[in-house]
Structure 1
Amino acid sequence: MKQEKPHILIADDELSMRQLLELMLTREGYHISYAASGRDAINMIEKHEFDLVLCDIRLGDMIGLEVLRAAKRKNPATVVIMISAYATAETAVQAMNDGAYDFLPKPFDNKELKKTIAKALEIKTVEHEKRIITDALKENLHFGRIIGKSPKMKHVYDMIQQVSQTRTNVLISGESGTGKELIARSIHENSDRCDNMFVAVNCGGIPETLMESEFFGHKKGSFTGASHDKKGLFETAHKGTLFLDEIGEVSPAIQVKLLRAVQDKVIRPVGSNEDIPVDIRIISATNRKLADEVIAGRFREDLFYRLNVIEIKVPPLRDRMEDLSDLAQHFLEKYSKEKGKAIAKISSYAIELLARYDFPGNIRELENLIERSVALTSTNIILPDSLAISVHKRLEVEDKKKDPFPEFIDDISEGVSLENILDRIEEIYIKKALEISNGRKERAAKLLNLNMRSLRYRMSKLGIE
């Protein structure tokens, strides 16, 4: 028995937009109906069953929220996706609170829209999607703390498994914010030292004058302020793992003392004449290229080879963007729970916006961004306007969207309405210019390199107020 095509209602008062969406979605195998006004859309919803409604926020005779509410009254299972070039954050929030599945701003990415529609028809509700996302997160959680399914991270997982079974020193290299300490902890917890201490120290956070005492301890009276004996980090980590983060920050004088501790497995506290044997595994981490530091004479070659028996290279977030959605959802759930908010997901367009940013601060920057976004949002979904991303970063990622109509070239083989396509592109640029100029037509005309007469004619032709 042939499966019935999903029935989609397009509610938009722009003829060119209805034609564009009908052409694109018909080719995807959907049965399409369309309405030119809010009243027509509501009448059709009352008479027919639709699997999905694609509705503009601003219709000619009413706001799209009325169509959304009508669709949900008729059948709560109907998926409604809102689209608009004009919606305010408040309108988007209201749409989500009224049951919209997602919100996409115009101009939208054709591939992203098709992906969102296909996913929405499969999942139907935000609550169902949240369960699916949570299950997927569990599948992609490794060693109880690391998230990712990308090939580069799978290689890291294999390395963790292999080195955990040895007592070899490990160097973890990667940019700041990539999660090097999580990898170090995973190695420790999967080793035969897991029942003993994991001691983490940021070498860059200890003043050089105190570093020797912090690493190796001191005896009472060995220097001003040494009022009692103190164990150092090496002795504290005995039988366990010592994690030396940012090892490249250690001064040459301390490197000499570190070399002896690593090589001979003995330490001598400041002010003592006796050596203390230590049984520790050392895992180091750096955001520098230590080999270059050796060549430059800033890091001892013999210490480098003692620490760098096995190297694990952690990829930056920009090289594992297939993990972005899972990471963002993980942080969303973490901070939603922490702040007592019931936020189900991040909208598809918000994820697309994040995916076009290269995150120089890596996962740490993503986590910080999601935490702030959770604090600022007032709906059950993170929308693009809820993303706590600075203006210059938002412009940067939005500028990366080179071609707003990447699929029309492929569509030519089956015939297109070139006039409608050109009208739509022209409309998008005029509306964007008016938005940037706060509605001042003289300024918009200058941005578009048009005279006022030409701009008025084009606005009248396209029905732009």
Structure 2
Amino acid sequence: MVLKNASILVIDDDADVLTALRLLLKPLVKNVVTEKNPNNIIAQIEKTHYNIIILDMNFTAIVNTGNEGIFWLNKIQKLKPDTSVILMTAYADIDLAIRGLKEGASDFLMKPWKNEKIIETIKTILSQKTSNNKKQKTLNSNTVEIIGESDAMQDVFVKLKKVAPTDANVLILGENGTGKDLIARALHENSNRKDKPFIKVDVGALTSSLFESELFGYKKGAFTDAHEDREGRFEAANGGTLFLDEIGNITLGQQVRLLTVLQNRQVTPLGSNESIDIDIRLICATNVEPKTLADESKFRKDLIYRINTVDIIIPPLRRRGTDITELSRHFVSMYAEKYNKNPFTFDTGFISKLKKHDFPGNVRELQYVLERAVIMTDGNVLKTDDLVFSSIERSTTTKSIETTSLNLDDIEKNAILTVLEKHKGNVSKSAKELGITRAALYRRLEKYEL
């Protein structure tokens, strides 16, 4: 990234320092914001994405650790791990600054500073970020970025990292719109077969007559419209990965044919007596609930065992907490570029309204909602009024938790949302009804980002 496209946040309790840095950087960068109160850091980084934060290490407020800079550095890294932090320190704080580097700061500056040094430091960090991004795109050149900082998605990433290098068959489970196809492609791109074909088939959409011809191929003359030989998807994926989407919707007869191919590792094209050996890594996906797959009247157990060496369950968006914020920034940035609009910021209620919607359409619904907002809004600040949820999807005013969920966090979060809605956001009355103190309720609100 070049300097002129950078957004920078400067945090210092000295008004003279803020003025000096604003005057220095304003002509050079796209956006420079100054903030005197460190307690406003979270609000600042929630509403605007900054490439670099210049952070003082000492403030008038007293934090229990005795080193405020380290405290706020850790906060920023937790919320925005992709944002670089430059620490500012006096000579006496040099040991603390070195500790800051060990804990993840990108660099530190000494007070009083030299203007040339600050500019050079910022340029170096931006250059390194651009280089790292290019390397990442090279490693995953055909993969759409999968965004997720929540614990639920981290569990998915851990399993993906372990399973991808193997040839194990994988069954991906999840609701519509959760991104099962992205996980399938990520498994392929991080496997030993990444340089071989990745073939996707929506088997749930294939009629009985098309199922065999599409998957196994056919010979010329095999049926009326077979004017030439055609290889099937199994053969096309040979050496690579075959992704069968909506596997839960195929008939019992189709299941038998698929099972035979997987057992023998051979396909026989329609109209042929010769079998063709296949070498594929199989990935399947379905939105059908596991209990339905376990019903032998609907799905063969022997086929389940074949396709389900490892299962990966993709959580619905309503279970992914902070990911809504990161996904929103990603989609808004993507559509701003697509529709030739300037970068957007969010007003204070924009993300809150998104988080209160339960998104039955999951990430796909969020994507469409934000594309619509980018197209229809005037100006470069997205407001709550710009959010219009689809009438096609079921929507609610509060984030609902599935009645089948017995997760304690889900139960507690749902109780808090219900009581807050009942008392129209009055924290004192809500805390009293919940049987906890105001401070305890505030801690829970922060925990669940409500």
- TM-score, normalised by the number of residues in structure 2: 0.61
Find the counterpart in structure 2 of residue 293 from structure 1: 293
Cα distance, 1:411 vs. partner?
A: 11
Q: Which runs of 5+ in 2 are unaligned?
A: 1-10, 25-31, 54-75, 85-128, 400-416, 433-450
- Residue type of the partner of 2:313? K
Find the counterpart in structure 1 of residue 91 from structure 2: none
Q: Which runs of 5+ in 1 are unaligned?
A: 8-48, 52-74, 78-98, 102-113, 413-465
Find the counterpart in structure 1 of residue 344 from structure 2: 344
- Residue type of the partner of 1:301? K
Number of positions where the alignment pairs a residue of Structure 1 with one of Structure 2: 311
- Residues 116 and 348 in structure 1, CA contact (< 8 A), matched pair in contact too: no
Cα separation, partners in 2 of 1:119 and 1:221, compared to 1, 3 Å:
same
Query: CA separation in 2, counterparts of 1:362 and 1:248?
Result: 20
Find the counterpart in structure 1 of residue 260 from structure 2: 260
Deviations 1:364-404 (A, max 9, x none): 11011111111111111211111132589777249965134
Query: CA separation in 2, counterparts of 1:116 and 1:248?
Result: 50
Cα distance, 1:116 vs. partner?
A: 9.6
Is 1:195 the counterpart of 2:215? The answer is no
Find the counterpart in structure 2 of residue 183 from structure 1: 183
Find the counterpart in structure 2 of residue 275 from structure 1: 275
The higher-RCO structure (CA 8 Å, 6+ apart) is 1
Deviations 1:89-126 (A, max 9, x none): xxxxxxxxxx999xxxxxxxxxxxx9995545x66995
Query: CA separation in 1, counterparts of 2:339 and 2:176?
Result: 27
Is 1:174 the counterpart of 2:194? The answer is no
Equivalences for residues 55-454 of structure 1 within 5 A: 117-119=40-42, 128=50, 135-136=82-83, 145-390=145-390, 396-397=397-398, 402=421, 403-408=423-428
Deviations 1:187-207 (A, max 9, x none): 111111000011111112222
Query: CA separation in 1, counterparts of 2:39 and 2:374?
Result: 22
Query: CA separation in 1, counterparts of 2:297 and 2:46?
Result: 61
**Bigger-Rg structure (1/2):** 1
Cα separation, partners in 2 of 1:264 and 1:348, compared to 1, 3 Å:
farther
Query: CA separation in 2, counterparts of 1:361 and 1:355?
Result: 14
- Residue type of the partner of 2:427? E
Cα separation, partners in 2 of 1:354 and 1:411, compared to 1, 3 Å:
closer
- Residues 219 and 269 in structure 2, CA contact (< 8 A), matched pair in contact too: yes
Cα distance, 1:344 vs. partner?
A: 2.2
- Residues 164 and 187 in structure 1, CA contact (< 8 A), matched pair in contact too: yes
- Residue type of the partner of 1:334? M
Q: Secondary structure at the match of 1:295?
A: coil
Equivalences for residues 44-55 of structure 1 within 5 A: none
Cα separation, partners in 2 of 1:393 and 1:295, compared to 1, 3 Å:
closer
Cα separation, partners in 2 of 1:130 and 1:329, compared to 1, 3 Å:
farther
Deviations 1:211-235 (A, max 9, x none): 1100000111111211111111000
Query: CA separation in 2, counterparts of 1:384 and 1:165?
Result: 44
Q: Secondary structure at the match of 2:311?
A: strand
Query: CA separation in 2, counterparts of 1:249 and 1:409?
Result: 49
Cα separation, partners in 2 of 1:395 and 1:255, compared to 1, 3 Å:
closer
Cα separation, partners in 2 of 1:223 and 1:123, compared to 1, 3 Å:
closer
- TM-score, normalised by the number of residues in structure 1: 0.59
Deviations 1:19-61 (A, max 9, x none): xxxxxxxxxxxxxxxxxxxxxxxxxxxxxx9x9xxxxxxxxxx
- Residues 220 and 226 in structure 1, CA contact (< 8 A), matched pair in contact too: yes
Find the counterpart in structure 2 of residue 13 from structure 1: none
Query: CA separation in 1, counterparts of 2:431 and 2:292?
Result: 51
- Residue type of the partner of 2:208? E
Deviations 1:268-311 (A, max 9, x none): 11111110000000000011124433425111111111001111
Task: State the identity %.
Answer: 38
Q: What is the root-mean-square deviation of aligned Cα atoms in Å? A: 3.9
Query: CA separation in 2, counterparts of 1:231 and 1:375?
Result: 43
Query: CA separation in 1, counterparts of 2:217 and 2:232?
Result: 4
Cα separation, partners in 2 of 1:385 and 1:393, compared to 1, 3 Å:
farther
Query: CA separation in 1, counterparts of 2:51 and 2:345?
Result: 8
